Amino acid sequence: MAPSGHPHTLVLGGIRSGKSEYAEGLAASAPRVRYLATARDDGSDPAWSARIAAHRDRRPADWASAEVGSAPGDLIDAFAGAVAGETLIVDDLGTWLAGAQELCDGDGAALRLLVDRLADAVAACPATVVLVSPEVGLSLVPATPLGAAFADALGALNRAVAAVCERVVLVVAGQPVDIKPPATGGVAIPRSTEGLADPPARGTVSAVHQTTVPPVPVPGDATDSGAPEEIVPGLTLPRPDDAAAQAVLDRLTSLDLGVGTPANPGLGALADAVAFAAGTRGSPYPRPFLASRVVLVAGGHEGGVAAGYAAEAGRRPAPLTYLAGAAGASLVTLEWENAAAPIETSDAIGPAQLQAALRAGWAEAERAADEGIELLVLAATGAGAATAATAAIAAVTGAEVQPLLARVVTADGYDDESWMRRSAAVRDALHRVRRRDGDPRTVLMALGGSDLAAATGLLLGAASRRTPVMIDGPVGAAAALLARDFSFLSRMWHLLPDHGRHPATKLAADVLGLETFLDLRLDLGEGATALAALPLWQAALTIAGGGAGRTGEAGETDAGDEADDGADAT
């Protein structure tokens, strides 16, 4: 195991297999990426130069790049100088080996020494490492002595590096196959947990990070978090790639999927969801999400906002675990035994509790990104949580609260008495704080509670790590509104597939400019609708990617074909 605790991954594949694109996708959400390019370009071969340029053009602008093809020792030195917390991508070992052979000039012992030094450097590297290499067994047997020597040496190099990597993936026709999964006892990792060092069982609670009011630290050292010491409005967050989002929409207007309509109108409202994925992934060829996680924010609120909750909650079991399993998502719970005091008479939480909860949510987003999670789904449960979130939405938007409160439904029908008690509690709370400023921290302390603050911190932390989040209910909608007031760019990382016709969620969606693409009218708890929508979104991404490289005219190819091959290019 690498000192950092993150797996070192060797990605193998044949020519035009998509191995480089897959390797780059593994690092898409990493905070610091260094791309180590091993190819050399002397300008004598225009086709080779074009392939190298295509690779350079598709790398995110915030990735650092280093040319290490001039001398084989440069790559070994790069591993030795790496630090924990960064991610190195090496593309690829085949061109590195070609340079090493040239340096050794037929000296087999010297070449073996270089290969051994490289493998030892990979094993000792404290950073996360993703290495790309051609698989020699997928092509013709070389007819020349020099070619045969290269194939033999590359086979030995791949074996040596595979031995020190925790994970080895073979990419065939763009499809990754785990041939050495990390820490799984030889059982292949499901696609849904791609990138996890130790994936949780599908559809089960993998961890409960217990907190209380006043909160206690969640598992993991909070000092390791990238969150600011105090989370305040004016945060600087990254922006999704608008050019990639527009590029995929443009591409879909001419993509031929074998039906009598271009892909864009063919996908309908899902085209915008595909564009959202392209923007957040920074690629006009977004693939389906390989690893997703549900973060369930759970906490009970005291006072009138929880009126009728016991009867309401008792009419059905929470279906999140079943839906998470169906969607291939892991599930983590952030739980508070008491998330908020009665808001009709006092503030829900104090300043220390607010910052602790914000940081707990932020840390959970960072933990997910560090484990390779590519998509988060925000879920919520708890007595009074939805009502408190509705109060926060009313405070932020200035809307009358009564039309925003959903009716209370129990096994015996509508409970209008409990609805009136909730309405009175929110009315009194809003009256109590009517002269306070609109700072999102003020709203969270006065009305929201620790669970809503943690949900807000989760959205901010996810945006800081370029991780999209699906939301679908009043808690997620309120958290999105409040996160927007910490940083306007945070709203660009949220997808709302369906507002469930909840009046407060619909209002927040309108204010945030979030367009839905479903109207399922599910009433299975917050987070359930997003999970139900996730497989449909994944299917749209599969369809959009399935026609990549084709246009409406036979014989023409998309420019993406030239960028698809990562073999032997920088």
Is residue 245 within 8 A of residue 279, CB to CB? The reply is yes
Measured distance CA(151)–CA(248) in Å, rounded: 38
Each residue's pLDDT tens digit, 253-264 = 877 666 667 777
Report pLDDT for 181.
77
Q: Please, is 414 exposed, middle or buried when counting C-beta atoms within 10 Å of its C-beta (0-12, 13-18, 19+)? A: exposed
Q: What is the mean pLDDT of the chain?
A: 79
Fold: same for 9-189 and 209-237+286-516: yes
Report pLDDT for 127.
87
Q: Are strands 413-414 and 409-410 parallel, antiparallel or unpaired?
A: antiparallel
Report pLDDT for 131.
95
Of 447, 480, 446, 454, residue with least CA distance to 297: 454
For residue 345, the tally of other CB atoms under 10 A from its CB is 13
Please give the average per-residue pLDDT across 334-352, as a whole number.
90
Q: Rg for the chain (alpha carbons), in Å?
A: 26
Helix, strand and coil in the chain, % to nearest 5: 45, 15, 40
Report pLDDT for 283.
84
Please give the average per-residue pLDDT across 408-423, as a whole number.
84
Of 534, 537, 564, 538, residue with least CA distance to 549: 564
Please give the average per-residue pLDDT across 115-126, as a whole number.
89
Sign of the torsion formed by the C-alpha atoms of 134, 135, 136 and 139: negative
DSSP assigned state of 284: S
| Residue 41 pLDDT level (bands cut at 50, 70, 90) | low
Each residue's pLDDT tens digit, 30-40 = 778 899 988 77
Sorted by where each begins, the domain ranges of the chain are 9-189, 209-237+286-516
Each residue's pLDDT tens digit, 510-544 = 999 999 988 898 888 899 999 999 999 999 988 88
233 HSE (CA, 13 A, CB side): 12
Dihedral angle computed from the Cα positions of residues 536, 538, 543 and 546, in that order, rounded to the nearest 10 degrees? -160
CATH superfamily of 9-189: P-loop containing nucleotide triphosphate hydrolases (3.40.50.300)
Report pLDDT for 201.
30
Structure tokens at 504: 């407060």
Percent of the chain at pLDDT exceeding 70:
80
Report pLDDT for 445.
93
pLDDT at residue 98 tops 80 = yes
Structure tokens at 497: 């597939």
pLDDT at residue 196 tops 80 = no
Annotate 442-461 with three-state secondary structure. Answer: HHHHHHHCHHHHHHHHHHHH
DSSP assigned state of 405: S
Structure tokens at 320: 């999140």
pLDDT at residue 455 tops 90 = yes
Please give the average per-residue pLDDT across 94-99, as a whole number.
88
pLDDT at residue 335 tops 90 = no
Please provide the DSSP assignment of 220-243 as one string: S-GGG--S-SS--SS-------HH
Please give the average per-residue pLDDT across 82-94, as a whole number.
87
Report pLDDT for 195.
32
Please give the average per-residue pLDDT across 56-75, as a whole number.
79
Helical axes 320-327 vs 528-546, angle rounded to 10°: 10
Is residue 378 within 8 A of residue 455, CB to CB? The reply is yes
Please give the average per-residue pLDDT across 277-299, as a whole number.
89
pLDDT at residue 316 tops 80 = no
Please give the average per-residue pLDDT across 266-289, as a whole number.
88
Buried b (16+ CB within 10 A) or exposed e, 384-397: bbbbbbbbbbbbbe
For residue 50, the tally of other CB atoms under 10 A from its CB is 13
| Residue 4 pLDDT level (bands cut at 50, 70, 90) | very low
Measured distance CA(79)–CA(554) in Å, rounded: 46
Please give the average per-residue pLDDT across 298-311, as a whole number.
84
* Catalytic sites, residue numbers: 526
Please give the average per-residue pLDDT across 230-237, as a whole number.
87
pLDDT at residue 150 tops 90 = no
* CATH of span 209-237+286-516: 3.40.50.10210
Residue whose pair of structure tokens reads 């999102």 in the numeric block: 440
Report pLDDT for 48.
61
483 HSE (CA, 13 A, CB side): 33
